[in-house]
Amino acid sequence: MSPTQSSSSVENPYEVLPVTASSEASSSDAGPSKTATARKGVLALVDQGLVSGARFATSILVGRSCGEQELGFYSLGFSLLLIATCIQEALITAPYTVMHVKKRDAAWSRYNGSVLVHVVLLSVFSFVAFGGAWFANRGNAEAGLTAVLGCLAISTPFALLREFARRVEFAHLRLTHSVVVDGAVAALQLSLLGYFAWSNQLTAGRAVMTIGVSSAAAGLVWLWSVRRTFHPDWREVWTDLASGWRLGRWMFMAQLTGLIHLQGMIWLIAFWLNPALTGLFAACTTLVQFINPFALGLNNFISPMTVRTVADRGLQPARRLVGTAMGLLFLCVLGFTLTMALTSDTMLGFILPKAMPAGQGGLVFILGLNLAFNAAHMVNDGGLWAVERPQIIFYSSVIAVVVSGIASILLIPTWALWGAAVALLIGRIAAASFEAFVFFIVLRPEDVPNYRGGDSA
């Protein structure tokens, strides 16, 4: 055993090293208990509820305390933060979820170190990019936007660290740790926001800064607690980055096209219709997205479980797991959608204090149905990721963009918001059908990479 192996396996109090091959075999044979699985599923939902709840509460506080313009600035800033997070997920943390199960002992700790270096590099890039945007935007008439860009430059690196922490915990199915991190972030963030709102000092920039402060507090404590698990080898940092790019580039392009699929529709509505209808469409979308904490939380739990199922038992058990989760999520989101459609007038009035046009139940239902297919589609993404077929996810995203784009050109001028919602739904169904066909029918067991015999140094 090398010195590196000894330090990471003996001195590490965090107990995050992968189990040995023999213990994996026995664990695989026995399988996780239903109680343990259910407990982890509940923890995944709680964790996502904390994350999504904090985001939703922040938007509500900014909108009610600062007005529509500041809410717009905050939404713009948060969308940029979301892009940075998506880049990290696609190129760093998602490859980590797949690749860490192949690593053993010192190779695992060196890979951990490489991934941490990658996060630092992305953080530096985000600081330079947003700082440059802030510098270029000085003197702009929209001072609120300039402030948001400056706060983003400071906050984004810490937000990326916090997101890295929770994704690492999810990859190892240590959901209690993730709940602690995200609970601490939510508590501190909402406390700061509440103080600023109470003292009439809340702005979009300060809202963005609360994200950075709370993420820094929790993320740095987490990083200190697991510091012994990171042993970067600078000769492997760039090799591991290239490996992550080979696997993650497809997810990166898929997420980029996914953002185009959703955000592009908003721009098409603004182009063909008017800003007021764009706002109504966004409000209806927000209404159906109340179910997102449940859908995302379950998927955060199912995705790493799918990776482990493929590694331990093969393709067919993974198909059963993915198929069951897809059906469960679809039915749950559909049931929620029916409830929101029936109560849409009341709920829309709650989301935005200004009066909203009545009779939007049909529009809400179509958007919710799109979300139900998207939830099932998301679980299928995890299955394809587990068998290292991320290019299929990208192809399906392209299908969604192309089909929805063509449908929107045909439908929006005549059906307005209904046309936009139907166009989104058609594109989503086409993409989900393509992915399901590949994962459940086209793939063969012999096509699945062999996860056994992970490298140890």
Between the CA atoms of 327, 331, 337 and 338, what dihedral angle is there, to the nearest 10 degrees?
A: 150
Asked if 215 and 185 touch (Cβ cutoff 8 Å), the reply is yes
pLDDT at position 429 is 96
- The reported pLDDT for the residue numbered 358 is 66
Q: Tokens 């964790």 — which residue?
A: 47
**HEC states along the chain?**
CCHHHHHHHHCCCCCCCCCCHHHHHHHHHHCCCHHHHHHHHHHHHHHHHHHHHHHHHHHHHHHHHHCHHHHHHHHHHHHHHHHHHHHHHHHHHHHHHHHHHHEEHHHHHHHHHHHHHHHHHHHHHHHHHHHHHHHHHCCCCCHHHHHHHHHHHHHHHHHHHHHHHHHHHHHCCCHHHHHHHHHHHHHHHHHHHHHHHHCCCCCHHHHHHHHHHHHHHHHHHHHHHCHHHCCCCHHHHHHHHHHHHHHHHHHHHHHHHHHHHHHHHHHHHHHHCCHHHHHHHHHHHHHHHHHHHHHHHHHHHHHHHHHHHHHHHCHHHHHHHHHHHHHHHHHHHHHHHHHHHHCHHHHHHHHCCCCCCCCCHHHHHHHHHHHHHHHHHHHHHHHHHHCCCHHHHHHHHHHHHHHHHHHHHHHHHHHHHHHHHHHHHHHHHHHHHHHHHHHHHHCCHHHCCCCCCCEEC
Q: Which two tokens stand for residue 406?
A: 């063509």
Q: pLDDT at position 404, please?
A: 93
Supply the pLDDT for residue 182. Answer: 93
* pLDDT per residue as tens digits for the range 105-150: 677 778 878 888 999 999 999 999 999 989 888 776 567 778 989 9
For the chain, residues with pLDDT lower than 50 are: 1-30, 355, 451-457
Quick one: pLDDT at residue 301? 76
Residues paired with 103 in a beta bridge: 455
Q: In sequence order, what are the residues at sequence separation of 6 or more whose Cβ sits closer than 8 angstroms to the Cβ of residue 343? A: none
pLDDT at 30: 45
Which residues are 455's β-sheet partners?
103
Provide the pLDDT for residue 314: 81
* Predicted pLDDT of residue 274: 67
Q: Which amino acid, residue 275?
A: P
What's the burial of 418, exposed, middle or buried (CB within 10 Å: 0-12/13-18/19+)? middle
Residue ranges per structural domain of the chain: 34-232, 247-451
Q: CA-CA distances (angstroms) from residue 61 to 103, 156, 189, 281?
A: 44, 21, 12, 20
Q: What is the pLDDT of residue 450?
A: 52
Per the prediction, the chain carries an average pLDDT of 80
Q: How far apart are CA 155 and CA 35, in angstroms?
A: 39
Structure tokens that stand for 94 in this block: 């998602």
Residue 105 CA to residue 455 CA, distance in Å, equals: 9
What is the chain's alpha carbon radius of gyration, rounded to the nearest angstrom?
22
Provide the angle, in degrees to the nearest 10, between the axes of the packed helices 292-313 and 361-386: 20
pLDDT at 421: 93
pTM: predicted TM-score of the whole model, two decimal places? 0.69
Tell me if 52 sits within 8 A of 82, measured CB to CB. Answer: no
pLDDT of residue 449: 65
Distance, CA of 152 to CA of 75 (rounded, Å):
12
Q: What is the pLDDT of residue 16?
A: 38
Report the alpha-carbon distance of residue 89 to residue 251 in Å, rounded: 9
Count of Cβ atoms closer than 10 Å to residue 237 Cβ: 19
Confidence at residue 356, expressed as pLDDT on a 0 to 100 scale = 57
pLDDT of residue 91: 86
